[in-house]
Amino acid sequence: MALIAYDKADAAAFEATRHLGDDALGAWREAITRYLDPQPGMRLLDLGCDTGSWSQAFRAWWPATDVLAVEPSAAMRERAVVPSVLAGDAADIPADDASIDAVWLSTVVHHIPDLPAAAREIRRVLKPGTPVLIRSAFPGRHEGITLCRFWPEAITALNDNYPTVATIEAAFATAGFTTVGLEPVAQISAPCLQEAATGLRREAHTLLQLISDDAYAKGAERLRAAARTATGPLIDVLDLLVLH
């Protein structure tokens, strides 16, 4: 079971606020292609695709690539910005054995309840020697995450609920995976802090749903106060963990 419900309210908030702009996507494209060489006919699995923004980006970047979008939440699938999003999850992927050239998981690994089972299922659908690319926040690596700056309680929520890099590595090792890369990626999450504060939707962020109402309200006030004088784009740093 996911850490949050991913109901209609969550899906609406996600669609409204969590689709990255071209500047942010460009940084991730550069990072991804250090580990993946897209070729015509390649099949890429966007696992836990939410409303499909990454599938949309992949199809725009690499038109000759077959992108398979899979999402367990019916509410997310209903709001998908790409067609043909399939129902499924990390324990039950709707794909044949050895039919996938790369698996992408963006801010989803913390919602997977049984990581070894997911590793086995991902191993089943992946072709030998092809990558699993995991975009996530990880415990102990939160310094560049804006939510943790204004909501210190989110650090505790991250440490208590999200798997560490070592935990993921150990789980995937049971299915024969090894780590080939771990790097921070800086993205422009919003043109400015004021825009981020104005558009903030608690339902769009797992970490904010995991803290108390009082903690959320106090953090939101800190964010609004900082936004009144802040200049320049809002930059967040998440990690890209890559396994083969």
Q: Model pTM?
A: 0.96
**Locate tokens 């208590």: which residue?**
160
Domain range 8-139+162-187+238-243, its CATH number among 1.10.274.100, 3.40.50.300, 3.40.50.150, 3.40.50.2000: 3.40.50.150
If we measure between CA atoms, which residue out of 44, 28, 35, 36 comes closest to residue 180?
35
If we measure between CA atoms, which residue out of 119, 95, 8, 12 comes closest to residue 46?
95
pLDDT at 16: 77
Q: Where are the domains of the chain?
A: 8-139+162-187+238-243
pLDDT tens-place string over residues 28-78? 999 999 999 999 999 999 999 999 999 999 999 999 999 999 999 999 999
Rounded-to-integer distance, Cα 164 and Cα 179, Å: 13
If we measure between CA atoms, which residue out of 97, 86, 87 comes closest to residue 120?
97
If we measure between CA atoms, which residue out of 181, 156, 155 comes closest to residue 168?
181
Q: What is the mean pLDDT of residues 187-212?
A: 96
Has residue 114 got a pLDDT over 80?
A: yes
pLDDT at 1: 57
Say what angle helices 153-161 and 213-227 make with each other, to 10 degrees: 130
Q: How confident is the model at residue 13 (pLDDT cuts 50, 70, 90)?
A: confident
Rounded-to-integer distance, Cα 150 and Cα 193, Å: 12
**Locate tokens 């060489």: which residue?**
37
Q: Give the contacts of 218 (CB within 8 A, at least 6 positions apart).
A: none
